[in-house]
């Protein structure tokens, strides 16, 4: 692997974020030092087609050959969509006899405490395909009942009778001792080498049976799906000399090799959105804004992540469609609110927006691809906030007449409102939903919105950011350069990251230091070995340690970073415990320093630093920054609003709202009372006076 800052033999690096509506690209060419942005429609039936289409279009537009591409960093929603749409393989779960119903018992958490008939938690493997294995491991790692190898032929016969396409193995307490799982895997590999097997001791070797089993099942069912996609992608990599080194983006914000992605596809479940959080962390440093709320509004969803004190929040467990995933991932709140979110009036006369989306096909009514239901994009177009002749930089012309007719028929008429008021209502409901998601993301951490700046990106985010910020009390909004492809920008600067976890409940006190030091040493050794296997030179390796901690008797833990600790001593342990008390106080408004503290799981975050592009600053284009005016419906009336060209702006330009700022893949609405100027790193910074307390 090339040393850091040493140009790759092939000078072009591409980061791709394949979303539900568009595939976003960021292209860095080391020969010029410039980064270019590009968008192309996603092809849901086979996302690799849209990816290759975007690469070819970018090559033609920006003047490079496919053979010049040395590195492809690829964020994808293939795993997420497969789970949401239930396009999963036919799997079998092998678990300790007597524990076949763990998936259905789950945690019995009532989300709707007043619901008389709550929806059952999804179970991806039906009861007849959950098979018990005669064995039993205790929580201390000793065997209560040895694994019954003599019963394996009968077990194999049942697996084959069920026509299994994959197998998940989650035996009781295997995080403490994986011997039985590994023995079972060896027997399966010898008898059926073609059958993919996922072991919980490899996928999620952590305490809590339900979450570990759920994660392992998700991984197993995704293996054939993701492998099929990767096979199609690899077939296309040889076309026209296009043979880059490929890494896939994981939920933790780092990238992994194709081998890791094929073996543990559950790590890709937040692949695309994590790139935006990664970009937010980088921009927090470049802009000297350590506290950012990053909001990514695309065509389908609205993702909220928080950067606090310059660090992106990471959690050890998330969920997808109410299914727990116990793997490290960027902490993110996602709601169904994007430019393609559909507006409708329900039977009770209530206007709703989302979570249904028009997606890429047919898309909003304005796209002219057969869509009939009005969306958020349609509402912005009808109010004059979008230029029908300059959407995607003029690559797509929007149908204003069809848009206005759809809003009048589907929203205005049922509510008895004129078209403009109906479209305003769509935006008001949308902005309220967006504001609620941001508030919840901050309030649940004990954070005040007034201490944060709002980082707005995604193709649709700029049209809503200042209005949403005003609603929740934020007085600064940052529009980064190329906001429509910022997730891909974050991916462009990503590193290879592997997370390793080992659960072992220990008191966080001096007497446990030998056991803690032994566990840390084992984690660091495994992390270093994995980075070496991926070809990362020693100088480019970084290993940080973190701990899941709790007060003795608590049923939940907090993730506490411990830095690059190697041999923990009493002082290092004291700092860790103090950090836990401080985090507990921030989250829950109290701490008990006299209570004993437990370490439940130790983690190693192994980072292999990839060569970083040295990006040059683009110069403003030589044309007037003020494009003219456009009729926009604002504050109850049609008004002439100034329109500015983002690519021609200079630091001397000061934009007073209301105003519109256009660039090829995004449009920004600067609300009344806001002032926008160019800031560091080419970012557009909009501010407004703070209200009196």
Considering 441, 473, 492, which residue would you say is the last residue of a domain? Answer: 492
More confident: 398 or 314? 398
Q: Is 278 within a domain? A: no
pLDDT at 550: 97
Q: Is 77 within a domain? A: yes
Task: State the residue for tokens 């003029």.
Answer: 394
75 and 101 co-located in one domain: no
Considering 444, 463, 492, which residue would you say is the last residue of a domain? Answer: 492
**pTM, entire model:** 0.84
Q: Is 274 within a domain? A: no
Q: Tens digits of per-residue pLDDT, 501-514?
A: 999 999 999 999 99
31 and 173 co-located in one domain: no
Please report, for the domain that includes residue 543, its CATH number: 3.30.1490
Tell me the pLDDT of the chain averaged across its residues: 91
Instruction: Tell me the C-alpha distance between 579 and 576, whole Å.
Output: 5
Instruction: Tell me the C-alpha distance between 299 and 376, whole Å.
Output: 9
Q: Tens digits of per-residue pLDDT, 176-202?
A: 999 999 999 999 999 999 999 999 999
State the total domains in the chain: 6
Q: Enter the tokens of residue 474.
A: 């934020």
- Which band of pLDDT confidence, cut at 50, 70 and 90, is reported for residue 110? confident
Q: Is 2 within a domain? A: no
Residue environment code for 329-358, b if the CB has 16+ CB neighbours within 10 A, otherwise e: bbbbebbbbbbbbbbbbeeeeebebbbbbb
pLDDT at 10: 85
333 and 388 co-located in one domain: no
- Which band of pLDDT confidence, cut at 50, 70 and 90, is reported for residue 244? very high
Q: DSSP 3-state assignment of 263?
A: helix
- Nearest-10 Cα torsion for 414, 418, 421, 422: 30
Could you tell me the CA-to-CA distances from 338 to 97, 219, 389, 474 in Å, in that order?
A: 46, 28, 21, 21
Instruction: Tell me the C-alpha distance between 647 and 639, whole Å.
Output: 25
Q: Is 6 within a domain? A: no
pLDDT at 692: 36
123 and 215 co-located in one domain: yes
Nearest CA to 466 among 341, 613, 349, 295?
A: 295
88, 196 in Cβ contact below 8 A? no
pLDDT at 41: 86
332, 306 in Cβ contact below 8 A? no
Instruction: Tell me the C-alpha distance between 693 and 689, whole Å.
Output: 12
Please report, for the domain that includes residue 167, its CATH number: 3.40.50
Q: Is 150 within a domain? A: yes
In the beta sheet, which residues pair with residue 343?
353
Q: Is 564 within a domain? A: yes
Q: What mean pLDDT comes out for the span 508-531?
A: 96
pLDDT at 691: 62
Q: Tens digits of per-residue pLDDT, 413-435?
A: 999 999 999 999 999 999 999 99
In the beta sheet, which residues pair with residue 41?
22
pLDDT at 6: 42
pLDDT at 67 over 60: yes
pLDDT at 576 over 90: yes
User: What is the domain range of residue 55?
Assistant: 12-83+228-268
604 and 470 co-located in one domain: no
138 and 261 co-located in one domain: no
Q: DSSP 3-state assignment of 395?
A: coil
Q: DSSP 3-state assignment of 665?
A: coil
pLDDT at 241: 86
73 and 175 co-located in one domain: no
pLDDT at 1: 42
Q: What mean pLDDT comes out for the span 231-236?
A: 88
- Lowest average pLDDT, out of 323-337, 508-522, 575-589, goes to 323-337
326 and 350 co-located in one domain: no
DSSP states along 41-61: E--TT-HHHHHHHHHHHHHHH
Please report, for the domain that includes residue 26, its CATH number: 3.30.420.40
Q: Tens digits of per-residue pLDDT, 435-462?
A: 999 999 999 888 899 999 999 998 899 9
More confident: 374 or 272? 374
380 and 314 co-located in one domain: no
- Nearest-10 Cα torsion for 394, 397, 401, 402: -140
Q: Is 667 within a domain? A: yes
- Which band of pLDDT confidence, cut at 50, 70 and 90, is reported for residue 591? very high
Phi-psi region of 493 (alpha: psi -120 to 50; beta: other; left: phi over 0): alpha
């Amino acid at each position: 692997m090339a040393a850091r800052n040493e140009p790759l033999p092939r000078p072009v690096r591409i980061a791709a974020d394949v979303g539900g509506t568009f595939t976003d690209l960021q292209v860095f060419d080391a020969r010029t030092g410039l980064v270019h942005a590009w968008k192309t429609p996603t092809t849901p039936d086979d996302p690799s087609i849209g990816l290759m289409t975007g690469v070819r279009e970018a090559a033609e537009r920006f003047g490079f050959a496919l053979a010049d591409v040395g590195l492809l960093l690829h964020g994808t929603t293939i795993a997420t969509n497969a789970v949401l749409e239930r396009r999963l393989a036919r799997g079998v779960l092998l678990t300790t006899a007597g524990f076949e119903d763990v998936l259905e018992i789950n945690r019995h958490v009532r989300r709707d405490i007043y619901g008389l008939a709550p929806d059952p938690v999804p179970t991806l493997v039906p009861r007849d395909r959950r098979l018990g294995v005669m064995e039993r491991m205790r929580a201390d790692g000793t065997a209560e009942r040895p694994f019954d190898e003599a019963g394996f032929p009968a077990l194999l016969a049942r697996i084959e009778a069920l026509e299994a396409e994959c197998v998940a193995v989650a035996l009781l307490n295997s995080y403490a001792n994986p011997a039985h799982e590994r023995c079972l895997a060896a027997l399966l590999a010898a008898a059926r080498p073609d059958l993919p097997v996922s072991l919980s001791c490899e996928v999620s070797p952590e305490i809590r049976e339900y979450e570990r089993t759920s994660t392992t099942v998700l991984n197993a069912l995704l293996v054939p799906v993701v492998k099929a996609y990767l096979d199609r992608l690899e077939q296309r990599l040889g076309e026209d000399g296009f043979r880059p080194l490929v890494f896939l983006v994981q939920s933790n914000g780092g990238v992994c090799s194709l081998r890791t992605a094929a073996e543990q596809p559950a790590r890709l479940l937040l692949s695309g959105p994590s790139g935006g959080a990664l970009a937010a962390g980088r921009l927090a440093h470049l802009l000297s804004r350590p506290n950012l709320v990053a909001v990514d509004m695309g065509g389908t969803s609205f993702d909220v992540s928080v950067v606090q004190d310059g660090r992106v929040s990471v959690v050890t467990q998330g969920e997808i469609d109410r299914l727990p995933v116990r793997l490290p991932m960027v902490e993110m709140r996602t709601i169904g609110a994007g430019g393609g979110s559909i507006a409708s009036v329900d039977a009770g006369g209530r206007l709703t927006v989302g979570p249904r989306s028009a997606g890429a096909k047919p898309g909003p009514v304005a796209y002219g691809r057969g869509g009939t239901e009005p969306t958020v994009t349609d509402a912005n177009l009808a109010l004059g906030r979008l230029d029908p002749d300059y959407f995607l930089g003029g690559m797509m012309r929007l149908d204003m007449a069809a848009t206005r007719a759809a809003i009048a028929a589907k929203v205005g008429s049922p509510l008895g409102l004129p078209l403009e008021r109906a479209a305003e209502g769509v935006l008001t409901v949308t902005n309220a939903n967006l504001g609620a998601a941001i508030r919840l993301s901050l309030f649940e951490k004990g954070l005040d919105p007034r201490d944060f700046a709002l980082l707005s990106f995604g193709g649709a985010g700029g049209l809503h950011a200042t209005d949403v910020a005003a609603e929740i009390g934020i007085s600064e909004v940052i529009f980064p350069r190329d906001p429509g492809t910022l997730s891909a920008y974050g991916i462009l600067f990503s590193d290879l990251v592997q997370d390793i976890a080992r659960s072992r409940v220990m008191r966080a006190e001096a007497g446990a230091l030998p056991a803690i030091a032994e566990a840390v040493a084992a984690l660091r050794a495994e992390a270093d070995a994995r980075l070496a296997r991926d070809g990362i030179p020693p100088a480019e390796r970084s290993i940080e340690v973190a701990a899941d901690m709790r007060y003795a008797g608590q049923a939940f833990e907090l993730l506490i970073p411990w830095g690059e600790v190697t041999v923990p001593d009493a002082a290092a342990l004291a700092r860790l415990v103090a950090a836990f008390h401080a985090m507990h106080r921030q989250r829950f408004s109290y701490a008990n320093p006299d209570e004993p503290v437990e370490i439940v799981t130790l983690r190693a975050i192994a980072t292999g630093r990839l060569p970083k592009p040295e990006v040059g600053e683009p110069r403003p284009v030589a044309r007037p920054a003020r494009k003219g005016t456009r009729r926009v419906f604002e504050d109850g009336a049609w008004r002439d609003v100034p329109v500015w060209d983002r690519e021609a702006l200079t630091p001397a330009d000061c934009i007073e709202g209301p105003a519109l700022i256009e660039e090829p893949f995004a449009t920004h609405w600067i609300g009344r009372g806001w002032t926008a100027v160019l800031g560091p790193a080419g970012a557009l910074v909009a501010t407004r006076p703070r209200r009196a307390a």
